[in-house]
Structure formats: structure tokens, C-alpha cells
Structure 1
Amino acid sequence: MVNSEQIYGIHAVMEAIKADEPINKVYLQKGLKGGLFKSLETLARKKRLMVSYVPIERLNKLTKNNHQGAVALISPVAFQNFEDTVEKILQKQELPFFLLLDGISDVRNFGAIIRTAECCGVDAIVVPKNNSAPINADAVKTSAGAAFKIPITKVDHLKDAIFYLQSSGVEIVAATEKADTFVYDVPLNRACAVIMGSEGSGISPSLLKLADHTAKLPMLGEIESLNVSVACGVFLYEVVRQRKG
């Protein structure tokens, strides 16, 4: 069965997965067994969905209905196919502009970033299927509806997205305090994709190695870092400034 943001019941969750519904996360009852339950686990793994095994009390809090040990949280926003989206943008835009998010975990940060990205003319946002905040009602609300206006794609691995974009002539700019160059000195008046890292650890080292440019913001106070949504706004508007200048 389905309510506003949930699908519950083993059969219903399985059918939703098979239909490629935009599922943020699947909660399964810890210790539950049975052939149908195993089939659901196998299907979720095959689709690379984020799965959490939780006590039945957690599921009871998620829904008061007969969940049968399975609850899926669905996204109010449909995710787009990565390659199809990129190809459409490359054909349409002279200077395509992408945003990659590596491990953003707070839904309100995610929503604020989506809002700023839409305002800055970002053509598409790319996030990993795992290790990313869900697009739920809070994220949509914080985005002020921008989540419905900008294509958002999910990929198995951001590395593959970076390789694909680079092979298409898109330069990758990683935002990191470890950079030697300020963002104002990086050429952004070209096809580019900005990568922003997680709230705690930033961009993963393996992705940093793939970037064409790394850039940082000047920090003049005693606090060593900005909130990721604020930092993202500065980076994105620097792209806008250079292209409008």
C-alpha cells in the first residue's frame, strides 16, 4: 500500500522497485525470514537501493499500517537518467553547467543547494545512489519548489559520472579547503561541473584526484569552514559572475 511518502508491505514494495519508483530508502525488519522477504532483499540489492535493517518498533513508528516488515520511503521528485540528461544538455547548451554532490547528508542543506543551483542556472544535479540525503518533503520545502524545476540524477558511482563528463568535454572543479587556488582564479567560463563534498569530511580523496581543478574560498575569520550550502552558493555564483562578466 501507499501513503504520501511511503510504500509498505512486501508485495507493494517489490512492485514499486520493479516499476522503478523513485525510492529513497528501504527499511526492512531485522531478523525477518521467508522466501518472499529474501526475494525483496535480492531485488533491492540488484537495484542498488539504500537498505536499513531495523527493529519492528522502528517500522511501527514509520507506519501504523500492516507493513509486513517492509517500508520504502519514496521521493516526491522523479530522478532522471544520467546519460540521457547529460546528452540532452550537451546538445542544447553552449556552456553546460553541472553540480555533483558527494555525500551531502542533511536534507535541508540538500534542499537549499537545489534552490541555489536552480537560481544559478545549473543544468542538472548529480548525486550517488547511496550516501546521499533523500529528497523528501523537507528537502522539497527548503528548495522552495526548485526540486521540481531542475533535473536531478542518481548514479551508482560519482567516479563514473566524472569520467563521462570529462569525456564529453566538461571540466571538473572540486571545492576543497586543501586547494592552493581560490575559486576566483579558476576559469569557469566553459563547460564545467562543480563538486561539493559532505558536511563532515568534504570530497572523497578518490574524487579529488580526478578533478581538473581544485579551488577554495578565502576564510578571514576564526571559523575554518562554511556551511556546505553557503559555500556551494559562493562557488555557483562565481560561475555566474565569470559567465556574465
Structure 2
Amino acid sequence: MIKETTIFGIRAIIEAIKSEENIDKVFLQKGLHGELFQELETLIRSKRLNASYVPVEKLNRLTQGNHQGAVAQIAPIAFYNIETLVENALESEKTPLFLLLDQLSDVRNFGAIIRTAECTGVTGIIIQKKGGAPINGDTIKTSAGAIFKIPICKVDHIKDAVFHMQASGIKVVAATEKAKHLIYDIELNEPCAIIMGSEGRGINPSVLKAVDEKAKLPILGDIESLNVSVACGAFLYEAVRQRS
């Protein structure tokens, strides 16, 4: 069993970042000031780390120790380099299928999607460094261990991944209810990447403008949308169907 690692204390987190530890997310206390705290904030910005400002009660729940207003989570996995992953995928005999997640916020949705992605043969998952759900114990549990079997990359912005995919000859398809076409009308039997948006906001409008295709699922009931992990499964299994 791989245990999630949490570190706390401003100086300890500063040293962990400087030592190139694989920091997944930093939680900082709202309204806190001080020279050392500002040094930590500057370091977080320079490294483009995922950080959130939260009430002290949140920090108290994350650790029993003297956190000094800062708690960091170290990811239990090593992240892949997107350039290397894409290059290796294009050189393999298998048709690549990538999954881009635009700032999903729920760790259980994240874990469920990772599990489905592994089951459907997804080549790799790309997430954004900031604004998304952390990789923690809940993510690992919900993924049923799949998180250790599928490559995951982090990029500064999802648009960076979109442009890299397109430059590599990989078609990018966005899952959005704003689409005119159903997913069944989109060709997925070629190198492609599917983008899923966040639970509340969906896919960022600037990202939508950059994609090659937009697709949606048919909704026959009164509820206007599906849970993102369910929708993602439907998209991925349509790709499996076309490729079978």
C-alpha cells in the first residue's frame, strides 16, 4: 500500500520545494502574513505549484501538527513528460488515445475517470498544474489502483497540451453540450485526445476555441447533464467501439 505523504510547516515546505519533491498541492492559511510566509508564496509562484488559500480549520483537519499556516501534499506518483509520452505513443503500433482533464475539482470523479481510462486503454492523462483536484488517498482508492498503471502528465495550461497534440498530428475532441454533433458522429479511430471539463464550469471557453472537434452525448431525460466521470466513460467506450 502506498501512503499519501503530507508535510506541514512553512520552512519544511520551502525546503521540500527546493529539494524538488513532487509537490501536488499546497494549502495556505487565508490572511496570514510574515516574511517567511511571503518567501513560501514567492517560491510557489515561481514553481507554478497548485495552491489554495483556506481557513485555518481546513488546515487543522489536514494535520494534527503545528502547521504554521501551511500544509503540502506530496503526490504518490511521478508525473510524466508530455513531449516524451506523445513521442513514444506515436512510435508505437497502437493508435494513441489521450485524455485531457480541464481542472476537475472532485477527487472521486478524478479517481473514477482514471480507473475508466485504464480499462479503456488510454495512452495517458494530461492535467493542469493549477486549479484541479489533488492526487490524494481518495483519488487512489476511487481509481482502484489504476493511478499506478497509467501515465499522468502535468502542464501549465490545458491549452499547452491541446497545441502540442495538434502539432503532433493528434486530433483534439472536446466533450461539451454546446456541440452540434453527437460523439457517435465523430471519427475516433485515429490518433486523438478527448477533453473533459470541470464539474461546474465545463471546458474553459479559450480551450474550446482551440479544439478540432466538439461532441456531445444524447440526453433524453429532464436532467440536462451527466456526471463528468459517467460522461467520460461513455466517450471513451465509443472510442473503444470504433477501434474494435
Structure 1 and Structure 2 fold alike (TM over 0.5) = yes
The bucket for the TM-score relative to the shorter chain is over 0.9
User: Which stretch has the larger CA shift, 104-113 or 60-69?
Assistant: 60-69
Q: Cα distance, 1:230 vs. partner?
A: 0.6
Residues 206-227 of structure 1: CA deviation (Å, up to 9, x unaligned)? 1111111111111112221111
Q: Cα distance, 1:92 vs. partner?
A: 2.2
AA at the equivalent of 2:108: R
Please give the alpha-carbon distance, in whole angstroms, between the structure 2 residues aligned to 1:38 and 1:178.
42
Report matched runs for 1:54-203 at 5 Å. Answer: 54-203=54-203
Residues 128-187 of structure 1: CA deviation (Å, up to 9, x unaligned)? 111211111101100000001001111101111111110000000111111111111111
Please give the alpha-carbon distance, in whole angstroms, between the structure 1 residues aligned to 2:4 and 2:181.
46
TM-score, normalization by structure 2: 0.92
Verify the 8 A CA contact 2:4 2:73 in the aligned structure 1.
no
Would the alpha carbon gap of residues 69 and 220 (structure 1) be closer, same or farther in structure 2, given more than 3 Å must change? closer
User: Which stretch has the larger CA shift, 111-120 or 201-210?
Assistant: 201-210
Q: Secondary structure of the residue that 1:46 maps to in structure 2? A: helix
- Partner residue in 2 for 1:221: 221
- Partner residue in 1 for 2:53: 53
AA at the equivalent of 2:68: Q
Residues 25-54 of structure 1: CA deviation (Å, up to 9, x unaligned)? 212234444433322211111111122334
Residues 59-115 of structure 1: CA deviation (Å, up to 9, x unaligned)? 333222222332112222222222222222222244111000112111111100000
Q: Secondary structure of the residue that 1:159 maps to in structure 2? A: helix
User: Which stretch has the larger CA shift, 38-47 or 16-25?
Assistant: 16-25
AA at the equivalent of 2:140: V
Please give the alpha-carbon distance, in whole angstroms, between the structure 2 residues aligned to 1:4 and 1:135.
9
Please give the alpha-carbon distance, in whole angstroms, between the structure 1 residues aligned to 2:141 and 2:31.
36
AA at the equivalent of 2:209: K
AA at the equivalent of 2:173: V
Please give the alpha-carbon distance, in whole angstroms, between the structure 1 residues aligned to 2:180 and 2:65.
55
- Partner residue in 2 for 1:10: 10
TM-score, normalization by structure 1: 0.92
Would the alpha carbon gap of residues 132 and 55 (structure 1) be closer, same or farther in structure 2, given more than 3 Å must change? closer
For the aligned residues, what is the CA RMSD? 1.7
AA at the equivalent of 2:207: L
% identity of equivalent residues? 64
Q: Cα distance, 1:15 vs. partner?
A: 2.2
Gap runs ≥5 in structure 1: none
Please give the alpha-carbon distance, in whole angstroms, between the structure 2 residues aligned to 1:171 and 1:145.
29
- Partner residue in 1 for 2:28: 28
Please give the alpha-carbon distance, in whole angstroms, between the structure 1 residues aligned to 2:39 and 2:113.
37
AA at the equivalent of 2:162: I
Please give the alpha-carbon distance, in whole angstroms, between the structure 1 residues aligned to 2:28 and 2:81.
27
AA at the equivalent of 1:18: K
Would the alpha carbon gap of residues 67 and 93 (structure 1) be closer, same or farther in structure 2, given more than 3 Å must change? farther
Verify the 8 A CA contact 2:51 2:130 in the aligned structure 1.
no
* Residue 41, structure 1, aligned to residue 38, structure 2: no
